[in-house]
Amino acid sequence: MSTTTLPAVRRGFDYKKFLANNGALVGLVVLCIALFIATPDFLTGQNLLNIGIQVSTVAVLAFGMTFVIVAGGIDLSVGAVAALAAMVSSWLFVSAGLPGWLALVGGLVAGLLAGMVNGLANAYGKLPSFIATLAMLSVARGLTLVISDGRPISTPAEVSFLGGNLGPVPMPIVVLLVAALVASFVLNRTVIGRSMYAVGGNAEAARLSGLPVKRILVTVFALAGLFAGLAGLLLAGRLDSAQPQAAAGYELDAIAAVVIGGASLSGGLGKISGTLVGALVLVVIRNGLNLLNVTSFWQQVVIGLVIALAVGVDVLRRKTRNG
């Protein structure tokens, strides 16, 4: 008797716990089912691939942002840094005459360096990350315009490949998955990743335990810059050119994705899987509203409400759990 009832009770409990811990995922599934019912255009192979491509840029940016937010900071510069990295890459190829693959690496290095400057300004210059990266937003966007003279520059074939297809699969989706695995590995398995949670949760306790808090912060922002660079190259690859105004405002999407994914802006909490779900929620909503012929003006209103709702539910959930 007891052997048949006990597991049932336990399964019910786990199910509840799963729901509570994966609110964003549940929301995403509900959203997809609703769209599937509302329009026949949603669940088609082509549309799903479109969603995959659209989510790739936001999600890769947001992975980098996850590191920063877990470590207790914020990075407003990722959109501008993405544009700068893509522009540097195209400039290295077109104007400096470097081979395409080297130009691609050069773009990533540009992103990494911009992020590192953010980290140095934050950790050693004692600037709050909000200010340091706000400054970088302006500097990086300005440099992008300076390099390009305000005009698009075409990308090398290697970068365009990132925006192309690998057999039937779009490359951005492949890059997205690889980036997710790498980011998740860094956050969960490496010393630097585990340290991010400690620094974001309580920097002083981390420091007194011997963790090199400043070096960790520099690495965190450098990683965010590197991921931003990759996102910039993905975007440029899709368009076959680096655009001076590319990815403008994307930092807000990235922050929204991380927060919808369950991270806390006060640091110490957050997961890559959550961020991926958060990015998917944003993109699926936009996609669905497009399919339903809702204007982009209203889309912004809806997105805003979803962010407020997601975080509101999360706050409420934590409150009841701790209460």
For residue 243, state whether it binds other proteins (rule: CB under 8 A). no
Give me the sign of the Cα torsion angle 23, 25, 28, 34: negative
Q: How far is the CB of 109 from other proteins (least distance, A)?
A: 20
On whether the CB atoms of residues 71 and 267 are closer than 8 A, the answer is yes
126 interacts with other proteins by CB under 8 A: no
Residue from the set 157, 248, 265, 269 that interacts with other proteins by CB under 8 A: 269
- Angle, helix 100-123 to helix 213-239, in steps of 10 degrees: 140
- In the bound state with other proteins, the residue whose beta carbon lies nearer, of 164 and 212, is 212
Q: Applying CB under 8 A, which of residues 44, 165, 190, 300 lies at the interface with other proteins?
A: 190
User: Taking the complex as a whole, how short is the minimal distance between the CB of residue 186 and other proteins, in angstroms?
Assistant: 9
Residue type at 227 in one-letter notation: F
Report the residue from 121, 198, 220, 281 that binds other proteins according to the rule CB under 8 A.
Answer: 198
The tokens describing 180, both together, are 């997710």
212 secondary structure, DSSP code: -
Using rule CB under 8 A, residue 11 touches other proteins: no
Segment contacting other proteins by CB under 8 A, of 103-111, 188-196, 222-230, 296-304: 188-196
Q: Taking CB under 8 A as the rule, does residue 262 contact other proteins? A: no
**Cβ at position 299, least distance to other proteins in Å:** 34
DSSP 155: P
Part of the chain binding other proteins (CB under 8 A), chosen from 134-142, 160-168, 192-200, 223-231? 192-200
250 CB-contact burial (10 Å; exposed 0-12 / middle 13-18 / buried 19+): buried
Q: Is 194 in the site for other proteins (CB under 8 A)?
A: yes
Residue 96 per-residue DSSP state: S
Contacts of 139 (CB under 8 A, 6+ apart): 80
Beta bridge partners of 241: 154
Binding of residue 49 to other proteins (CB under 8 A) = no
Q: Which two tokens stand for residue 153?
A: 């520059």
Contact by Cβ (8 Å): 70, 224: no
Tell whether residue 191 is a contact of other proteins (CB under 8 A).
yes
The residues that touch other proteins, with contacts defined as CB under 8 A, are: 189-195, 197-198, 201-202, 204-212, 264, 268-269, 323
